[in-house]
Amino acid sequence: MPSETMSHFRYRLRRDGNAAMSWFREMWLRRWFRWLGYLIGVGLLALILGWIVFARNLPSVDQLRDYEPPLPTMVRDGEGKPVHSYARERRVQLEYSEYPPLLVRAYLAAEDRTFFEHGGIDYPGIVSAIITNLTNSGRPIGASTITQQVAKNLLLTNEVSYTRKIREAILAKRIEAALTKEQILELYLNEIPLGRRSFGVQAAARAYFDKDVDQLALHEMAFLAILPKAPETYGRARNADKAMARRNFVLSEMFRNGWITAAQRDAAQAMPLGLSETGNKAVAQVGGYYMEEVRRQLIDQFGETPDDGPLSVYGGGLWVRTAYDSKMQEAATAALRRGLVRYDTGKGWSGPIARIEADEQWKSRLASSFIGIDYDNWRVAAVLSKSAGEARIGFANGDIGRLPAGAASMGYRKTGGSAFSAMRPGDLIAVKATAPGVYQLRNIPEVSGGMVVESPHSGRIYAMQGGFDVRLSPFNRATQAERQPGSTIKPFVYATALDNGMTPATLIVDGPFCVYQGASLGNKCFRNYGGAGGSGEHTMRWGLEQSRNLMTVRTASQVGMEPIVETIKTMGIGQHEPYLSTALGAGTTTVERMTNAFSMLANHGRELKPRLIDYAQDRRGKVIFPKNWRPCDGCNMKDWDGRPMPRFAPSGKQLMDPLTAYQVVHMLEGVVQRGTAVRLRDLGVPLFGKTGTTTGPKDVWFVGGSPDVVAGVYVGFDQPRNMGGYAQGGSLAAPIFKDFFLGALTDAPPVPFIAPKGIRMVRIDRQSGRRVYGSWPGTDPKAAIIWEAFKPESEPRRTIREEEIKPVKTPKRQDVPVQQGNGRRTDADFLDDRGGII
């Protein structure tokens, strides 16, 4: 084609996309289309911004499927009964099926009537709430569904803002998509805060009515259903009218929805609120030093708060089985307190327990001090003001009383004046009512002490008291106070001697004993308690029964202190230095360790680990402590299968020769029958034990017991100082044990101490240790002939010498009892003096 002809043609390249673009350009020229595009763009931008502002970083709903709320730790006693809980919030987790249907409907009537119909957001309810808020000038109302409340309580904060409400709504839709309605209700009923530190309906049922949810009456269910709106308002007695009106409204709503009959509604509306003032009685909340020590051990093992791990004490929902025995604990607590008060009586007022500001806030200050007493109806009061004739005092519950000057006339031991004149406003004091509104001053003993009661078969600790009251002093003197054991260490000195060839009948000189300590120090001479001199040659048994220091230190010198301190260490008493004074109790130990050592003596020298906790389970029942715990197969069978009864094999290492351990126990029975603990003889049951009195005396001890129960007790000042010459283990500590025994063990059948295989019981003369023929031991504890325990081939040999066959007359006593005061000292007083270290 000629070129001039082609110049008249035009070519256009066309693609399919250009048609769509062309169409869009043509439509964009129209105004309505442009506005539509603007609206779509703004909507998309709003969605993006909304996601960034509200939905971005929202918590995952998936965590609710395996949600485990923080639960308190429950403690059970030796019989499995709940006795204490460690909780900062009351919580009990139940399954949805465990909640009564009528209780669930009460909450639906009060909170979300259409719960089973909506998808997480109640749109009609929102519109109704908006209209109500616009037409009323009162407090705005909300329209949160139960699902939204779950989202707020478990996944969000309590911040009051529209942002939180929008986030709450988004989460509610997600929760509805992830969980069933029943699962949502279960979370709600277990977690909703309902006042009185209660979270969840079961905890609230216990806090307000002391009932479980399946025991609630209809009017009680309706009351619990009103609490989510304002628990701190409706749960207080002064707002009873408001609570009644709201409760009756819920009952009316239940009737309107066809969930109850008119008769049920009317009967429930006629009922009073009936709130419990004491709260949950299902758990005794025994508290005290025992439970505080359990708490310390659990915290060391698992941590305190949920931040420390999933098994924490205050969040892990642990179930803890202890050896706690309520009868023994009550007896030990009462016995120790009475012993402390008995020692303190007549010494004057020791001063205020503590001090607070006596201003208008005194009541809250006193309550927040957590100081209290549960002894003999004593109460802690704050001195609010004082005039010449009386003081005005107040209590933590708001009560006001009078303390006449004559009721506080005891001397003030620090200045010598009267206690009333020494009191100042703000002092916290102990008082006891003598008439309505009138009180008398009481004194908290300045002296203190500790006591432990243990099983010599297992090491389980039945009872523990670490002072007068844990609310006055949390320091546990049973486990934390390191004190000199005094003569209670002597059985282990003699045990070492028995392992090194000596016998209970070995003669030891009770006479002067001095040790050269070098040119600069010269001789160190030991003495018996009270400065008594020697009394000649006696058997080892007599030396232990009468707690003769000179015989003990002479034995230690002969055996050597290295094996003695090794025995003390092996028996778990402590790491002591190999000095002769250690043989008289110059080292330190605790009541718990010393009680356990005596328990191992009664256990034939086999190792025991003192324990308060038998085992701990997680919230699902799995045993998590101790790690080596094993179930007893067949122990929980419903019916006997005809096979032998399951028996536990002896546990623990053999720390001491069982023959040696029994020989020591047998000699310690003599301490009770005719020695320094003779005060216990009239209990009339087989007992062993040892008193102890340290230099000063600064500490007095008794450790001992029966074949089934061993107890240890010490009394002394927290800052050790002289207790007075009359304070001795036999006169102060042993009576505390006796008081405990009478309160806890009088019903126990008398059980003799069982000798291990190999022990040979031989008749000997108690004074000379010689073997006796032709005569038999009598029932008199002071009889000349007794049965003595010997190891094989160690008993006295037969003889044909007449003077060694016949019983030897008791020699005349060589040491004269020391006169004290205006009266003559008795034999019992003489025996009580024979213990301790000088």
| Contact of 73 with 318, CB cutoff 8 Å | yes
Which tokens go with 745?
Answer: 């063990």
Euclidean distance between CA atoms 707 and 366, whole angstroms? 46
What would you report as the CA-atom Rg of the chain, rounded to the nearest whole angstrom?
39
Q: Which of 208, 195, 206, 198 is nearest to 276 (CA)?
A: 208
In terms of DSSP H, where are the helices of 230-383? 231-234, 240-256, 262-269, 288-302, 326-344, 362-368
Euclidean distance between CA atoms 555 and 537, whole angstroms? 13
Euclidean distance between CA atoms 410 and 424, whole angstroms? 16
Render 610-673 in DSSP notation, one character per residue.
-BSEEEEE-TTS-EEESTT----TTTT-SS--SSPPP-PPP-S-B-S-HHHHHHHHHHHHHHHH
Which tokens go with 682?
Answer: 């009239």
| Phi, psi dihedrals of residue 662, rounded to the nearest 5° | -70, -40
Number of H helices, E strands in the chain: 26, 24
Euclidean distance between CA atoms 365 and 148, whole angstroms? 39
Render 417-483 in DSSP notation, one character per residue.
SBHHHH--TTEEEEEEEEETTEEEEE---S-EEEEEEE-TTT-BEEEEE-SS-TTT----TTTT--B
Euclidean distance between CA atoms 323 and 609, whole angstroms? 13
Which of helix, strand or coil describes residue 368? Answer: helix
Rounded to a whole number, what is the distance in angstroms from the first to the last CA of the chain?
141
Q: Which of 285, 278, 472, 281 is nearest to 370 (CA)?
A: 472
Catalytic residue numbers? Answer: 111, 487
Render 560-620 in DSSP notation, one character per residue.
-HHHHHHHHHHTTS----S-GGGGGT-S-B-HHHHHHHHHHHHTTTB----BSEEEEE-TT
Tokens 């460690």 found at: 86
